[in-house]
Every structure is written in structure tokens, then in C-alpha cells.
């Protein structure tokens, strides 16, 4: 029971940071909203989708996934910062379950995504996003998005502990997440990419997440190249598998690294 308490205390701490430094929340919201507006109005006119509602319908799931993917960088740099300041040492000198500390941290960081996703959804609705699948499926889509962010937050723990310099971590986070989000079906059809990249994009977890969300929001995923491949046929299943694998690998790995971490 006490582990649950510890998780709650640390989750609260992560969330309280958001209220104490509103800039974090503001800027983590402004950026995706900016992406929505830019992509909607810059590319929206020139990419034909052949589906009702136009580009913005396909774009929104892409930006949702891209945004939750950045949880990785957020968790990593926050952790590196605390590590540098010696705060992690203090936590580690407490007589409590050290895993609880990491779980609380990933939960708190992922919860930021709830706020960001809501604001983005509102921005999307304002510029013409209209999911057509009904509230239940849309909500399931958001649960998937939340879980994806949560899984990646565990990767963030590992990156934060491995790199340990907050500024470098920020860069590593971008280096990991940018190619992943752009070498995917999130913003443009993968059919235009060189063959090798098409395969990469097809199996990219970002693509399966985006395709899965499109499905849940009532769209056909027409941005895939190698139609008929397993990930493009079963994007939700594939996304679930990816999340499971990420967590199976990174939860034990990150917790072990955390326990053995030293400044």
C-alpha cells in the first residue's frame, strides 16, 4: 500500500511543477497547436487526400502522436535536471521503494499530455477536424495516445539517466523523436519516400499509432505505402505490441539504471 502512496506523492510533485512553472504547460501546448495551424494551412491546400474533410482529418492524428512522442524528451530532461541538482540522491536515500519514484515520475509526466491533447483537440476542432466515429472510439483513440506517451516516458527515464546533462538530453530527445515522427505517415504519404525509408516508415511505431488513431477517428489510412503489410493492416494491434515491448524492455532497464545511478 505504501508504494501506492509513494507513487501518488511523486506524481503530485511532477504535476505541481506544472502549476508552479506555467511556462512549461503553456509552451508544451503552444508548440503542437502551432503545428496544427501551420500544417493545416501550409500543406493542407496542396496535399490531396481523396477523403471528405480534407487534410486536417489525416493531420490531427499525426500531430497527436508526434506530441505525445515528445514526452520522451520531457521526462528525460526533467530527470537529468533533478539528477544534476542532487535531488535524485535525496530520493534514493529515502527508505522507500525506488521503483515507486520512477513510476510516479512517468505517470506525472504523462499526465501533462492529457491537458495538451485536450487543447490540441480544441484547436483541431476550430480548424475543421471532425472525427466521425463517435465518442467512444475517439476516447479509445486518446487512451492509446496516452499509453503511447506513457511507454515513451520510460524510454525517457533511460535516456535521462544515460546522458545526464539536461541540455544534451534535450538534443538527444529531439534526435530520437524527430526522425521517428517524420519518417512516418504522420504528415505526408510514405509513397513518395525511397523504398528503404518506406519500409522503415511502415514498421515505425509512430506510423502504426497514427494509422490506428485514424482508424479510431473514422478514417481510412491512405498514407501507407506497402499496403497489405501486417502493420498497415493491423495498426492498433501492432501499436499495442510496440507499447508492450517498449515497456517490457524499458521498465526493468530504467528501474535498474535508476537504482544504480549515481551522480
Q: Kindly state the number of chain residues that form the binding site for other proteins, as judged by CB under 8 A.
A: 25
Cell of 227: 499496403
Residue carrying C-alpha cell 515520475: 105
Considering only residues 35, 39, 91, 217, which one is a binding residue for other proteins as defined by CB under 8 A? 91
Helix, strand, coil percentages (3-state) for the chain, rounded to 5, are: 80, 0, 20
Options 88-96, 153-161, 171-179, 241-249: segment touching other proteins (CB under 8 A): 88-96
Smallest gap from Cβ 110 to other proteins, in A, equals 19
Query: Would you say 10 and 108 are in contact if contact means Cβ atoms under 8 Å apart?
Result: yes
Could you list the beta-strand ranges (E) of the chain.
none
Contact flag: residue 171 with other proteins (CB under 8 A): no
96: three-class secondary structure by DSSP: coil
Smallest gap from Cβ 13 to other proteins, in A, equals 6
The C-alpha angle 140, 146, 149, rounded to 5 degrees, equals: 145
Considering only residues 48, 194, 196, 262, which one is a binding residue for other proteins as defined by CB under 8 A? 262
Contact flag: residue 92 with other proteins (CB under 8 A): yes
Considering only residues 89, 174, 175, 220, which one is a binding residue for other proteins as defined by CB under 8 A? 89
Contact flag: residue 86 with other proteins (CB under 8 A): yes
Query: Would you say 259 and 231 are in contact if contact means Cβ atoms under 8 Å apart?
Result: no
Smallest gap from Cβ 21 to other proteins, in A, equals 6
Considering only residues 13, 162, 179, 249, which one is a binding residue for other proteins as defined by CB under 8 A? 13
| DSSP single-letter state for residue 86 | T
> Could you give the CA distance from residue 77 to residue 70 in angstroms, rounded to a whole number?
11
> Could you give the CA distance from residue 193 to residue 167 in angstroms, rounded to a whole number?
32
Residue carrying C-alpha cell 508552479: 20
Smallest gap from Cβ 99 to other proteins, in A, equals 13
Smallest gap from Cβ 111 to other proteins, in A, equals 17
Contact flag: residue 256 with other proteins (CB under 8 A): no
Considering only residues 42, 90, 171, 245, which one is a binding residue for other proteins as defined by CB under 8 A? 90
Q: Using the minimum distance from each CB to other proteins, give the nearer residue, 26 or 42.
A: 26
Cell of 169: 538530453
CA distances from 208 to 9, 36, 90, 124, 200 (A): 34, 20, 40, 21, 11
Contact flag: residue 111 with other proteins (CB under 8 A): no
Considering only residues 16, 130, 167, 256, which one is a binding residue for other proteins as defined by CB under 8 A? 16
Binding region for other proteins (CB under 8 A)? 2, 5-6, 9-10, 12-13, 16-17, 20-21, 82, 85-87, 89-96, 262-263
Amino acid at each position: 500500500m505504501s508504494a501506492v502512496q509513494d507513487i501518488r506523492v511523486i506524481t503530485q510533485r511532477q504535476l505541481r511543477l506544472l502549476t508552479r512553472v506555467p511556462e512549461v504547460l503553456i509552451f508544451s501546448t503552444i508548440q503542437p497547436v502551432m503545428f496544427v495551424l501551420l500544417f493545416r494551412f501550409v500543406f493542407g491546400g496542396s496535399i490531396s487526400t481523396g477523403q471528405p474533410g480534407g487534410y486536417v482529418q489525416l493531420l490531427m492524428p499525426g500531430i497527436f502522436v508526434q506530441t505525445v512522442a515528445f514526452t520522451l524528451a520531457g521526462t528525460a530532461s526533467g530527470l537529468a535536471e533533478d539528477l544534476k541538482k542532487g535531488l535524485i540522491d535525496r530520493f534514493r536515500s529515502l527508505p522507500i521503494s525506488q521503483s515507486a519514484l520512477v513510476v510516479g515520475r512517468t505517470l506525472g509526466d504523462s499526465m501533462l499530455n492529457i491537458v495538451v491533447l485536450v487543447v490540441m483537440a480544441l484547436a483541431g476542432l476550430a480548424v475543421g477536424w471532425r472525427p466521425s466515429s463517435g465518442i467512444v472510439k475517439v476516447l479509445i483513440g486518446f487512451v492509446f495516445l496516452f499509453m503511447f506517451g506513457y511507454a515513451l516516458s520510460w524510454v525517457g527515464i533511460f535516456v535521462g539517466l544515460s546522458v545526464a546533462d539536461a541540455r544534451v538530453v534535450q538534443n538527444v530527445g529531439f534526435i530520437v523523436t524527430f526522425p521517428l515522427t517524420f519518417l512516418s505517415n504522420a504528415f505526408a504519404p510514405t509513397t513518395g519516400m525511397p523504398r528503404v525509408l518506406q519500409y522503415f516508415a511502415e514498421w515505425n511505431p509512430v506510423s502504426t499509432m497514427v494509422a490506428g488513431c485514424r482508424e479510431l477517428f473514422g478514417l481510412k489510412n491512405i498514407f501507407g505505402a506497402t499496403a497489405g503489410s501486417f502493420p498497415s493492416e493491423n495498426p492498433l494491434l501492432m501499436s499495442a505490441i510496440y507499447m508492450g515491448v517498449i515497456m517490457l524492455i524499458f521498465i526493468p532497464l530504467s528501474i535498474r539504471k535508476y537504482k544504480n545511478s549515481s551522480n
